Amino acid sequence: MRGDLFDLEEERLGEEIKKRGAEVVLLQLPDGLKPLAARLASIVERAGASVIISGEPCYGACDVALAEARELNADLIIHYGHTMMLKDLDIPTIYFEAHAKISVEKAVRRAIGLLKPWRRIGLVTTVQHVENLEAARRILSSAGKEVYVGKASEILYPGQVLGCNYINAKVISSNVEAFLFVGGGRFHPLGLALATMKPVVAADPFEDRAYSLNGDAKRILKRRWAEIEEARKAETYGVIIGLKPGQKRLKEAFKVKKKIEEMRKKAYLISLREITDQKLRNFQEFEAYINTACPRISIDEASAFRQPVLTLKEAYVMLGEISWEKLLEEGII
Ligand code: SF4
């Protein structure tokens, strides 16, 4: 991972440490940025604070290492790679978004051929490329496309999505025939296809290539339906409560437990920081799980689990409160 691919705002980092007089800083990075940890830690040290690099995984803006910082007596968390999601935390936290400094143009040009069947295109990206969305829009417009960029969230930039939040795509979905996602990796464009049920083409500026996602989304939907059907047969459920600050949905967990019990079945609450098959295997009595934490764990890692692990939305399909067709209409994410 080269530091010159991302704007790490190194000057601001040093200034924030000095301005706040931080003594112990917990530095938190997603895995993709961890190769830059030592470089950032040196900046913190030069600014006069001790720094501890969190070696734990960090998957999103929801995953601020508050518990870790408490245990380590850190007085400031520096969280890289995501847009601010959680405010007023009991340990001051500064988000650094790490915008990519690479051009998206070549990848977007390569996407034009794949977008040929459609004229009205929704443009979507992650925080890393929000500044390049205008360049992408220009390329699409000059190729004769009518381009839409959604803005329906206070915390997100126009056109920006998160792995579990596609509201900026959903608000323009009825206007467009297909979406172009600009960014690296399959995680976000796959989520976009599942959230909107529209054709999705991805333009990856890190690899200067474009590809279509539609087969993947169909395969996943087939599997989600099969898991719902399988979970329906269970008599005893584990309801998972995520311990990460932005994933904790206690009220939802209690509510779904009650709904299951109303069907004369058993449900128990389980708290987990990381949701893995290895951890769930210890609970041999549970035949299926409802995951109230990050929905992408259920959707993207289904094959890693031995039992069905439904998202909250899928649980309500299983309970008969919403139809599968309605869920598809709304988007499973
Ligand atoms: S809940 Fe999951 S998808 Fe949403 S921001 Fe957190 S890690 Fe990403």
Question: Measured in angstroms, how far is the CA atom of residue 69 from the centroid of ligand 1?
Answer: 20
State how far the alpha carbon of 141 is from the alpha carbons of 126, 137, 283, in Å: 21, 6, 54
- Same domain? 204 vs 238: no
Secondary structure of residue 122 in the 3-state scheme? strand
Question: Measured in angstroms, how far is the CA atom of residue 297 from the centroid of ligand 1?
Answer: 9
Count of all residues that appear for the chain in the document: 333
60 lines ligand 1 (CB under 6 A): yes
Q: What is the mean pLDDT of residues 159-179?
A: 97
- Same domain? 110 vs 13: no
Ligand 1 atom closest to 63 (CA): 6
Question: Measured in angstroms, how far is the CA atom of residue 58 from the centroid of ligand 1?
Answer: 10
Number of domains in the chain: 3
Question: Measured in angstroms, how far is the CA atom of residue 62 from the centroid of ligand 1?
Answer: 6
CATH of the domain at 71: 3.40.50.11840
What pLDDT score does 183 carry? 98
Alpha helix positions (H), the chain: 10-20, 37-46, 66-71, 105-114, 133-142, 167-170, 187-196, 214-232, 250-262, 277-280, 295-300, 312-318, 324-330
β-pair type (120-125, 200-204): unpaired
β-pair type (24-28, 6-7): unpaired
What pLDDT score does 4 carry? 78
61 lines ligand 1 (CB under 6 A): yes
- Same domain? 116 vs 38: no
Q: pLDDT tens digit string along 300-321?
A: 999 999 999 999 999 999 999 9
Domain boundary among 81, 98, 115: 98
Give nearest CA residue, ligand 1 atom 3: 163
Give nearest CA residue, ligand 1 atom 5: 60
- Same domain? 326 vs 231: yes
Question: Measured in angstroms, how far is the CA atom of residue 23 from the centroid of ligand 1?
Answer: 30
Element (H, E) at 79: strand 76-80
- Same domain? 298 vs 315: yes
Q: Which of 79-83, 85-89, 169-173 has the lowest mean pLDDT?
A: 85-89
CATH of the domain at 127: 3.40.50.11850
Give nearest CA residue, ligand 1 atom 1: 294
Secondary structure of residue 247 in the 3-state scheme? helix
316 lines ligand 1 (CB under 6 A): no
Q: pLDDT tens digit string along 122-167?
A: 999 999 999 999 999 999 999 999 999 999 988 999 999 999 999 9
Question: Measured in angstroms, how far is the CA atom of residue 142 from the centroid of ligand 1?
Answer: 35
299 lines ligand 1 (CB under 6 A): no
- Same domain? 25 vs 62: yes
Domain with 289, as residue range(s), is: 221-330
Give nearest CA residue, ligand 1 atom 4: 164
- Same domain? 7 vs 73: yes
Domain boundary among 72, 98, 124: 98
DSSP assignment of 52-71, as one string?
Answer: EE--S---STT---HHHHHH
- Same domain? 37 vs 93: yes
- Same domain? 116 vs 58: no
Ligand 1 atom closest to 162 (CA): 5
Q: What is the mean pLDDT of the chain?
A: 96
Residue 3: pLDDT above 70? no
191 lines ligand 1 (CB under 6 A): no
Q: What is the mean pLDDT of residues 265-287?
A: 97
Confidence tier at 2 by pLDDT (50, 70, 90) = low
Domain boundary among 181, 212, 243: 212
Mutate to test the pocket of ligand 1, among 86, 296, 299, 312 (most ligand atoms within 8 A of CB): 296
- Same domain? 169 vs 255: no
Question: Measured in angstroms, how far is the CA atom of residue 165 from the centroid of ligand 1?
Answer: 8
- Same domain? 76 vs 144: no
- Same domain? 113 vs 208: yes
**What is the pTM for the complete model shown?**
0.95
Task: Provide φ and ψ at 77, rounded to 5°.
Answer: -110, 130
CATH of the domain at 294: 3.40.50.11860
CA atoms within 13 A on the CB side of 277: 9
Among 65, 121, 56, 124, smallest CA distance to 89 is for 65
Ligand 1 atom closest to 82 (CA): 5
